[in-house]
């Protein structure tokens, strides 16, 4: 891939890991103040193209320090495969995208238990 990426995981079908956190930085490595911005998280299956893309709300957890968070659900790991995700923040004038986040989802031994 030609875009900067960060690899996380791997995960298992039905898993619900801790929230995914990301910090938006400018080209000098300084946090971007995101006060007044909205946040979305997109994920898709990574085939020859991105497939089955969905966009979900995410949280602005520390605006001044550029921090955003997405709270995973079991639906985010629906079946085995390679997946990608990306945060977007915007305020109606400016819009920034995170690095491309990639992960692998592995098969579960059986249906994940309700625990």
Instruction: Give the model's pLDDT for residue 37.
Output: 98
Question: Is residue 70 a part of any domain in this protein?
Answer: yes
Question: Is residue 115 a part of any domain in this protein?
Answer: no
Q: What is the DSSP string of 16-58?
A: -PSPEEEE-B-TTSPBP--TT-EEEEEEEEESSSEEEEEEEE-
Question: Is residue 41 a part of any domain in this protein?
Answer: yes
**To which H or E segment does residue 76 belong?**
none
Question: Is residue 112 a part of any domain in this protein?
Answer: no
Please write the tens of the pLDDT for every residue from 70-112.
999 989 998 999 999 999 999 999 999 999 999 999 999 988 8
Question: Is residue 114 a part of any domain in this protein?
Answer: no
R_g over Cα of the chain: 15
Cβ neighbour number for residue 26 with a 10 Å cutoff: 11
Question: Is residue 67 a part of any domain in this protein?
Answer: yes
Question: Is residue 113 a part of any domain in this protein?
Answer: no
Question: Is residue 58 a part of any domain in this protein?
Answer: yes
- How far is 108 from 27, CA to CA, in rounded Å? 40
Instruction: Give the model's pLDDT for residue 100.
Output: 95
Residue 24 confidence (pLDDT) above 90: yes
Q: How many domains does the chain have?
A: 1
Expressed as residue numbers, the domain containing 89 is: 5-106
CATH number at residue 23: 2.60.40.3350
- How far is 64 from 31, CA to CA, in rounded Å? 8
């Amino acid at each position: 891939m030609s875009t900067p990426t960060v690899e996380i995981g791997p995960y298992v079908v039905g898993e619900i890991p801790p929230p995914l956190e990301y910090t938006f930085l400018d080209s000098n490595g300084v946090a971007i103040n995101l006060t007044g911005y909205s946040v979305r998280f997109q994920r898709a299956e990574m085939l020859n193209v991105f497939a089955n893309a969905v966009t979900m709300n995410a949280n602005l957890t520390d605006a001044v320090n550029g921090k955003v968070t997405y709270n995973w659900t079991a639906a985010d790991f629906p079946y085995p495969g390679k997946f990608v995700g990306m945060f977007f923040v915007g305020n109606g004038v400016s819009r920034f995208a995170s690095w491309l986040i990639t992960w692998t989802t592995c098969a579960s031994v059986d249906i994940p238990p309700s625990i």
